[in-house]
Chain A
Amino acid sequence: MRMSYWEYQGTAHTGVARVANSMNGVYAIMYSPVGDTYINSMFTMIERNKRFPPVTTSVLDLQTMGMGVNRLAPTLEQVYADHHPDLMIVACTCSSILLQEDLGALTKSAELPEGKTEVLIYAPNPYRVEEDEAANGLLTLLTKRYATVALPPTPKPSVNIIGTISLGFHHKQDLVSLKRMLNTLGVEVNLVFPEGASIPDLKRLPQAWATIAPYREMGQDAAKVLEELYGIPAVLTTPLGVMATREWVRAVIAALSKFAAAHNLPYNAEEPALAAFSMDQHSTPSNLPWFTYTADVQSFSSRKAFVFGDFTHTVGLVRLLATELDVQVVGAGTYDKRREQEFLEAVAPYTKETIISVEFDKVRKKIGELQPDVVLGTQMERHTSAGFDIPCATISNPTHIEDFPLGYQPFLGYDGSNYITDRIYHTMTLGLEKHLIEMFGDAGLGTSGAELPTEKINENFRHSEELRVKAEQLAVDGGSVMEVKPTPAPEPAKAPVGELTWTSEATQALKQIPFFVRPKVHKRVEEYARQHGHSVITLDLVYEVKEKAG
């Protein structure tokens, strides 16, 4: 028993629903009380799917349970009549699994046309198996069940892409990026599974030359099944970042070569020129390497980052940050407890601090301890980081409506490396600006800026003229960081002020000082002048004060 306020993953039946919702002609029937189909609202609202989700409930309620009525068979009959699916998957939820009923026997009484549809009972223990693992297990099961007959290889080099799934983090955009690269390699896509695949399609899995399964938690076991049964090489690396993508490209070529050699097929194993992968066909496909050499990005070397999320994105981003952007990774973690050892080994070269936990509060405490400059995490870490005033970019599920943008935002491939770098840079830049604001205007903006949201402050900072006005107002109001005493400080540009007169040269010099320290300098010069009995402030005097102040 533990107290839960929030979870990184859903339970097993959510994974089943995601597989069904990805595919065509597959329907999931939850043997459950009303309400366990709540996941449907995520498909239609968050992912903005257009179809009615192929997920329904065979309703369990106390009244009918008491009467010994079981609705499973009639539910299957109605689903068949309404949708004619090739496959109906019956799953339990955390309550119905306790009834320990023989679902096979219950479904047998359904009157379904022979040979037109099938019923599959898939009921992993919801107390042990979470969302991702249930979906992953189902992909393996379906592969074994339907990819049963060896087929001659496709005439041209082709691959299966396994793991692209409904509610996957930027999965559909990754798919575009992967297909663009495969196209450059002259490789056709034999089948994407589960996204867009049907049950008859699965029979075609064995005709590909290789299988690509880039997500560690989704579909790699199915890829291995195809490797074991049919000798189809599986490419299991994740093309996240420039180096990882280059390695992935070479791994794909190697896998295809291996398959071609084994089957005596013609294959040109030459690596295409880099420009061939680019959007416009004549420049570099990734601007990350040049970006990271540019002068302003040098400051990244002193930045501390913390990364937390699923296995795939966390491991990929830790490497990208530590090597390609040369950021200090002060800590990394995952909620994927199932792969703890593998995760620790994967991040060991890049970071010392690690955390494996499904409890966000423990992750929050870790971030509090480490005080990184930037966090890359899930929506929860974004929420946590806001509390610590640390900038954060999201890099992993749990899925959120923001993860289904209208524009092209892949994480994988060369295209993904560009997008990820933009995302990190934007997060970091805003962080830097905020830092500056705090340095020079903390108390002032803290009071008059209390009503301004952070974005507004940053916006103001960009429009320095606006902020100049603000800073001058602050000086007048007595912003404490500028050490202006409550006595109103005069407008710096106006001279003479009080008994002190500024020469035009001195005024000019004051104007050259950056706006955010100008009031402070102005005040210090006047104090100095009074202390030393000057009534006219000359350029020499300004320099004198500057030298003495160091």
Chain B
Amino acid sequence: MTITPDAVTSASSEAIVLREDNGYHAFCGLTCVGWLYQKMKDSFFLILGTHTCAHLLQNALGVMIFAQPRYGVAMLEEADLSAPQVDITEIVRDIVEQHHPSVIFLLNSCTPEIMKVDFETMAKKLNGVFENTPVMPVRADGLEYTMTQAEDSVVQALLQFCPQAPAGEKKVVFLGAVNDVNTGEIQREVEKLGLPVGGFVPANTIKELPAIGPDTIIAPLQPYLAGAATLFSRKRGAKVLQSLFPIGPDGTRVFLEDLAAMFGKKVDLSEREAESWRNIEAKVAAIRGKRIFITGDNMLELPITRFLRKAGAEVLECGTPYVNRKFHASELKALGGQKIVEMPNMGRQIRDIRALQPDLVITNFWEANPFEAERIPTKWSTEIIFTPIYGFGGVGELANLFSRALNRRKKLDLLDWKDFLPSAGNN
């Protein structure tokens, strides 16, 4: 496929962003349900979709997921395709009666999108019927969204459950689904700096969602929440922190310093950052000098690349679903000279990886084992989404992800058994 240098591509001091346009492999937006339903404990995720969507959800995350979690598919069958109107009232009634959720997220998918089902109207009608259970339309179809991008849609839908904060109430609200250990650590770290914390979106339940108002500072933890940050700012006048994402000692330091600056405080966390690097030195030693290739499927790639470079690795390519020039501006600035490829073409990447023979390939579920079969070490990209890597508290876990993979390979390769391993091309 053709690689077209992006129009914005500029001087060597900045990242070089290329865009490809086909052969791109990623999960669709529905996949985010797999972790969001666990994060939001009083929610229900209802997908208007097909048999394929149901099969995807029970298999895609690599483990078979069984019955009756707090998500399901209102399954369109052949007769529904020609029906004048899609009605899911009875299905929603069953969900309300069986699961008693505080909120139902109604996700679209490719088929109703092609059928041009009017989701907003459908949700509005359902809200008229079920007054105590809000039904929120969420865009997640594979025609437009990959997995983490749809998380942005869900977070946007949460705004209306956030109480209005009065003018003058200046608190920071963090955006991003992170686990309770990470939220606790981040909150403590920020409060130590004397900054008041409003809370996290999403929270574990709807009732715990923080108030947001004109003086709220929105601090995005993850790079895929541009839509939510913009929406919160537009609807409530909240200010959005423009900084690095709090991933790695370097990112966390800049994130916290920039956040403090928004509260008019000047803090210097250089010693804190140095201490954090010292804490993980043994792990960093495994990463230092290594050549790493990121195929890219979840949008965490920019900050991960930045961390790996700071840790002394060379990132041969940073693939990513897409780059948001404005929302990712700070990260892009920190990635001078780095090759970044949006919507990377997997066929081209496989060719490049074979030629480059990197020390580690960070890649998705379906390419990892084939690379291993070619003796190219890998790390699952999806694991990064599920690991509490944020803030100074997450630095150890973050470094572990890569150092463990590299160290394990080194140890295994000492055994006299290479002839037991597969040869390329055979199943």
Interface, chain A (partner B; CB < 8 A): 1-7, 9-11, 13-14, 32-46, 48-53, 56-65, 71, 74-75, 78-79, 82, 93-96, 98-99, 125-128, 130, 196, 360-361, 364, 379-380, 383-384, 398, 400-401
Contacts and interface: CB of A to CB of B under 8 A. Distances in A.
6 contacts: A3-B73, A5-B69, A5-B73, A49-B427, A50-B422, A361-B67
A9 to B, nearest CB: 8
Contacts of A3: 72-75, 91, 94-95
A42 B369 CA distance: 11
A34 B427 contact: no
Nearest to B2: A74
Interface of B: 1, 21-31, 50-52, 54-56, 58-60, 62-69, 72-78, 80-81, 86-88, 91, 94-95, 109-111, 113-115, 141-144, 146, 345-347, 350-351, 364-370, 373, 422, 424-427
Contact of A5 (B26, B50, B68, B366): B68
A525 to B, nearest CB: 49
A67 to B, nearest CB: 11
A41 B75 contact: no
Contact of B51 (A4, A43, A52, A58): A4
A78 B23 contact: yes
Given A56-B346, A74-B22, A38 B27 contact: yes
A140 to B, nearest CB: 22
A400 to B, nearest CB: 6
Nearest to B144: A62
A45 B380 CA distance: 11
A44 B368 contact: yes
B58 A6 contact: yes
Nearest to A62: B143
Contacts of A37: 25, 366
B46 to A, nearest CB: 9
Given A3-B73, A34-B28, A126-B52, A51 B111 contact: no
A87 B371 CA distance: 24
A456 to B, nearest CB: 22
B367 A95 contact: no
Contacts of B27: 34-35, 38
Given A3-B72, A44-B365, A78-B1, A35 B26 contact: yes
A43 B366 contact: yes
A4 B364 CA distance: 27
A75 B66 contact: no
A117 to B, nearest CB: 16
Nearest to B56: A38
Nearest to B345: A78
Contacts of B66: 6, 379-380, 383
Nearest to B66: A383
B69 A94 contact: no
B26 A34 contact: yes
A380 B55 contact: no
B52 A10 contact: yes
A269 B69 CA distance: 57
Nearest to A128: B78
B58 A44 contact: no
A50 B67 contact: no
B91 A1 contact: yes
A172 to B, nearest CB: 10
A14 B55 contact: yes
Given A3-B75, A59-B24, A78-B1, A13 B367 contact: no
Given A38-B28, A58-B22, A95-B109, 7 more contacts: A3-B95, A32-B142, A38-B27, A51-B426, A52-B350, A56-B347, A78-B347
